[in-house]
Every structure is written in structure tokens, then in C-alpha cells.
Amino acid sequence: MNRYEPNFIGGREAKLRYLSGDYQVVTPGDFVRCAVTGEPIPLDQLRYWDPDLQEAYSSPEVSFKRYLEVHGRG
């Protein structure tokens, strides 16, 4: 595999500052880790994060699970 193949996870872990609807690269890299699962997320596939918690998530389901953990179920 090389970095131009889909789903390639290699290189360095990036550090990001998550904003509402965008993010800023603090330390350049190729991926970030999901705050819940620890799964690497390539930056070009990063879609879900929480700017208040400064966390990235691998899927909408994982994001919602974390939301419930933080904010309670009702």
C-alpha cells in the first residue's frame, strides 16, 4: 500500500484545533485518532468532531455515543 491508496493509514499523527465546521492544523500529519475507539482517521476522511471537547470521531454513531456519555440520556 502507499499513501495514495484509499484507507491507507501511515505516516504521522496530526494535531488539530477543532472549530465549528472546520479545523486548524497545529501539527501536520496524515491522520488523527478517534477519541472513543482509538481508530486512526485519515484527514481527508475526517467528518465528525466536537469543538467543545476538542475530539475527533470515526463515525456519526460514535459521535452520538460520546454525546450521550457527556450530556446524559435525557
CA distance 31 to 40: 6
- Residue 24 — very low, low, confident or very high, per pLDDT cuts 50/70/90? very high
CB-based contacts of 4, cutoff 8 Å, min separation 6: none
Report domain extents, the chain.
Answer: 15-71
Give counts: helices (H), strands (E), the chain.
1, 6
CA distance 44 to 71: 29
- Residue 1 — very low, low, confident or very high, per pLDDT cuts 50/70/90? very low
Give the pLDDT confidence score for residue 73 in this predicted structure.
74
Q: What is the pLDDT of residues 38-71, one digit of tens each?
A: 999 999 999 999 999 999 999 999 999 999 999 9
- Span 5-32, mean pLDDT? 89
Residue 31, exposed/middle/buried by CB under 10 A (0-12, 13-18, 19+)?
A: buried
Amino acid at 12: R
Q: What is the value of pTM for the model shown? A: 0.83
